[in-house]
């Protein structure tokens, strides 16, 4: 993979970083940077998200991209990679910012994700020369670029001491909007999010909450909920809309035998109506 470099001030998309502290002299990148400034949101959060964190990250990332937003994140395990992958699944553009040189993408387990980002028209970016290895302080330094490249930062799930809060600190210093998904008050992985809300961050329950503030021109009328191809699929969609996620509970409430139910669930996943969250948990796309 060819590693390119530019001055961030020479590109219409990256020029926004020129107003931050410690502007990088060069930005190294693999892939394709956008030619113009497009509404951009950074999505960050826990490296070990719950099913709730996984679901809301995927849903909001997909909805934002389908409205024309670019998603930036750090390609770390957890929320970062979930956000990147959700964007790719709906054909959107995403940019990953690394805390190391680009000769070796990090972490190694996400190298395929990095290749997919590049192949789908996105980019992987770093301020470090290609052979610089990953170190803890460099990931904290790169967080300022994640927020700097974006118009806003969204935290979908984060503990009280999450590294995501470092990105929020940079965002506030840079005058960026900070959005947070509220979480269960008994969940340690939502403690950071709920604390940010008490400090004045914008609460988010859907992509529209973000677009209303940073890109109202992208808002469109809500479309009617999709219907299934038969009454059972429509019933499953209604149950998922009501918040039922567990496959066994869905089957019980559908009042259909297990074999027929499993067949319809598979067809709905193939047709892109629903998504498997793992462990027999399901959600609408």
pLDDT at site 226: 59
Which residue from 64, 129, 62, 57 is spatially nearest to 98, judged by alpha carbons? 129
Backbone phi, then psi, for 282, in 5-degree steps?
A: -130, 155
pLDDT for residue 4: 97
Q: What's the pLDDT score for residue 271?
A: 82
Name all domains of the chain by residue range, CATH numbers in brackets. Answer: 4-218 (3.40.50.450), 231-284 (1.10.10.10)
The pLDDT, as a whole number, for residue 21 is 81
Are the CB atoms for 154 and 14 separated by under 8 Å?
Answer: no
What pLDDT is recorded for position 22? Answer: 86
pLDDT of residue 228: 75
Q: Encode pLDDT of 160-185 as tens digits.
A: 998 899 999 999 999 999 999 999 99
Helix (H) or strand (E) holding 262: helix 258-270
* Amino acid 273: pLDDT: 86
Rounded to whole angstroms, what are the CA distances from 148 to 18, 199, 204, 240?
9, 21, 21, 37
Low-confidence ranges of the chain (pLDDT < 70): 221-227
pTM: 0.81
Residue 121: which of 31, 35, 14, 190 has the closest Cα? 31
Q: What pLDDT, on a 0 to 100 scale, did the predictor assign at position 1?
A: 82
H or E element in which residue 99 lies: none
């Amino acid at each position: 993979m060819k590693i390119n470099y530019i001055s961030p001030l020479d590109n219409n998309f990256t020029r926004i970083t020129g107003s931050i502290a410690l502007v990088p002299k060069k930005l190294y990148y693999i892939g394709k940077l956008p030619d113009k400034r497009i509404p951009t949101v950074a999505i960050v959060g826990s490296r070990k998200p719950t099913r709730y964190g996984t679901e809301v990250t995927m849903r909001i990332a997909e909805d934002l991209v389908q409205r024309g937003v670019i998603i930036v994140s750090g390609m770390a395990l957890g929320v970062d990679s979930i956000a990147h992958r959700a964007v790719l699944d709906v054909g959107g553009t995403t940019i990953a910012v690394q805390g190391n040189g680009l000769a070796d993408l990090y972490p190694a387990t996400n190298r395929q994700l990095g290749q997919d980002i590049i192949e789908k028209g996105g980019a992987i970016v770093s301020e470090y020369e290609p052979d610089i290895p990953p170190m803890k302080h460099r990931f904290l330094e790169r967080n300022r670029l994640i927020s700097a490249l974006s118009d806003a930062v969204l935290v979908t799930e984060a503990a009280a001491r999450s590294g995501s809060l470092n990105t929020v600190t940079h965002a506030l210093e840079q005058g960026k909007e900070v959005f947070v998904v509220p979480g269960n008050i008994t969940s340690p992985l939502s403690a950071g999010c709920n604390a940010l809300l008490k400090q004045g961050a914008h609460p988010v329950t859907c992509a529209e909450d973000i677009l209303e503030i940073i890109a109202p021109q992208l808002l469109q009328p809500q479309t009617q909920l999709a219907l299934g191809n038969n009454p059972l699929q429509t019933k499953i969609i209604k149950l998922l809309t009501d918040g039922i996620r567990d496959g066994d509970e869905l089957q019980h409430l559908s009042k259909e035998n297990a074999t027929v139910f499993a067949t319809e669930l598979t067809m709905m996943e193939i047709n892109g109506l629903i998504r498997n969250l793992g462990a027999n948990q399901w959600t609408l796309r």
